[in-house]
Amino acid sequence: MAPELPDVDVERLVGAIAGLLGERERTTQRAMASRVLHAYAGLDEMGRARFLGLLANRFGTDDAAVLDAVDAFHAAEPGAERMIAERALRRAVTPRHAEFLHLVTGLPDGVKLLVDLRAELLGIRARDPALGFLDDELAGHLSTLFDVGLLELRRITWDGASAAVLEKLIAYEAVHEIDGFEDLKHRLESDRRCYAFFHPAMPDEPLVFVEIALVRGMATELRPLLDLDSSTIDPEDADAAVFYSITSPQRGLAGVALGNELIKQVVEALRRDLPRLETFVTLSPIPRFRPWLEARVAMRGLSQFEQESVGLELRPDDAVWLERARPGLLSLCARYLTTLDHGRAADPVGNFHLSNGAVVERVNWMANPASYGMAESLGLMVNYRYDLDAIGPNARAYLNGETITASNRVKNLIK
């Protein structure tokens, strides 16, 4: 079992970091950084948190230097003098751990290491403002390293992708579990597409990936997409692409907007490859609909129409009730999906797609009757539609808190 960081080692580690930051020859410096990270890798969760605390607190900025810079800034005349003072101030508030993060970047697997360090930090950054400062630094560094201009969009196929990449898809798929290589093979058949972003320094690690089914018409339920025995169609015959799963497995990249970019680039790529595709939609879960609905029912917040249909109590195990409640539930769900709450959608999945400029296209009854679908949303799912020409205005209207754009079909559900 990996040990916590013992007290006696704390000072040794601080000394090692201080030593490597003082060293001026890069190769030596990198060897020293490597040893520090090796020590880090041997620690347990408590030890790692303590290490990060040390890094954040002992290798931040120099208090005296910051104060001096602040004073000089105060004293400077507006204009050139103040600008010079501002440059100096900026340098003074650059923490020393920034240099450590730079060093790690150049180590073998260093970029992956930074991503994992960030994942660790996410859980503890609220504990201590110094950890918050370290997280700012690392998040900024990662957002430059993972700029979309450096990423590679790859189509994942059974013939082309390595087993090392595929086993990661299997392990990472968050929305609809993949049950081993056979199941994955099904999701890579000729009428399926899978795309991922990769980073040049992490060639086997999918950063974000999307699974797509090519269909005729629009997919309104999940089962045929996941079913191993469903028949395949000729991709040239498809007129719609259904994005039924999108996964961002690298927790350490939280805040780096990769999913957004991926969807747009994939829509472009599909349009080029298969010019007959006309519709690009998701088939998305509605993870918080049921709690919202339950609260509504409890608070008597239903319209008369909804109330007549749904009644005073949810009875999802009762087929008769379900059938009767259907129009009411559809109306409620449409309301849930299209109502701004403090300027944003209540649903996190909805918030993601609406921020990207998608439209609430269609609400689907019994689209996911599996137990997790019933628990989240009484089996309802939603299609968000991406129309590349309208993405800009849609996103702007949403992000400015003005409106959630929805199709007439969805609007008409609300009664």
Residues 346, 327: Cα–Cα separation, whole Å: 21
Contacting residue, 12, 90, 216, 223, with a second copy by CB under 8 A:
90
Residue with tokens 């300027």: 343
Burial (0-12, 13-18, 19+ Cβ within 10 Å), 63: exposed
Q: What is the DSSP letter of 279?
A: E
Contacting residue, 4, 9, 23, 189, with a second copy by CB under 8 A:
23
Residues 72, 65: Cα–Cα separation, whole Å: 10
Number of residues that bind a second copy (CB under 8 A): 74
Q: Which stretch binds a second copy (CB under 8 A): 8-16, 46-54, 178-186, 246-254?
A: 178-186
Note whether 398 and 354 are within 8 A (CB).
yes
Contacting residue, 12, 35, 396, 409, with a second copy by CB under 8 A:
396
Residues 130, 58: Cα–Cα separation, whole Å: 9
Is residue 353 part of the annotated active site? The answer reads yes
Note whether 383 and 283 are within 8 A (CB).
yes
Q: Does 36 bind a second copy (CB under 8 A)?
A: no
Q: Which parts of 229-258 interact with a second copy (CB under 8 A)?
A: 257
Q: Which stretch binds a second copy (CB under 8 A): 34-42, 207-215, 309-317, 393-401?
A: 393-401
Q: Does 110 bind a second copy (CB under 8 A)?
A: yes
Q: Minimal distance in Å, beta carbon 409 to a second copy?
A: 24
- Region of residue 343 (phi > 0: left; psi between -120 and 50: alpha; otherwise: beta): left
Q: Minimal distance in Å, beta carbon 90 to a second copy?
A: 4
Residues 293, 336: Cα–Cα separation, whole Å: 8
What x/- string results for residues 265 through 304 when contact with a second copy is judged by CB under 8 A? ----------------------------------------
Contacting residue, 33, 37, 130, 215, with a second copy by CB under 8 A:
130
Strand partners, 212: 193, 243
What x/- string results for residues 332 through 351 when contact with a second copy is judged by CB under 8 A? --------------------
Annotated catalytic residue within 284, 309, 331, 377? 284
Annotated catalytic residue within 245, 248, 353, 377? 353
Residues 259, 253: Cα–Cα separation, whole Å: 11
Collapsing DSSP to helix, strand or coil, 242 comes out as strand
Residue 241: both structure tokens together: 């692409």
Q: Which parts of 351-390 interact with a second copy (CB under 8 A)?
A: 357
Contacting residue, 36, 117, 196, 201, with a second copy by CB under 8 A:
201
Closest to a second copy by CB, 145 vs 310, is 145
Q: Minimal distance in Å, beta carbon 247 to a second copy?
A: 19
Q: Does 34 bind a second copy (CB under 8 A)?
A: no
Residues 62, 73: Cα–Cα separation, whole Å: 16
User: CA triplet 387, 388, 394: central angle to 5 degrees?
Assistant: 70
Contacting residue, 14, 16, 70, 119, with a second copy by CB under 8 A:
70
Sign of CA dihedral 35, 36, 38, 39: positive
Residue with tokens 């999307």: 210
Q: Does 264 bind a second copy (CB under 8 A)?
A: yes
Is residue 74 part of the annotated active site? The answer reads no
Strand partners, 382: 284, 363
Q: Does 259 bind a second copy (CB under 8 A)?
A: no
Contacting residue, 1, 7, 77, 144, with a second copy by CB under 8 A:
144
- Residues designated catalytic: 284, 353
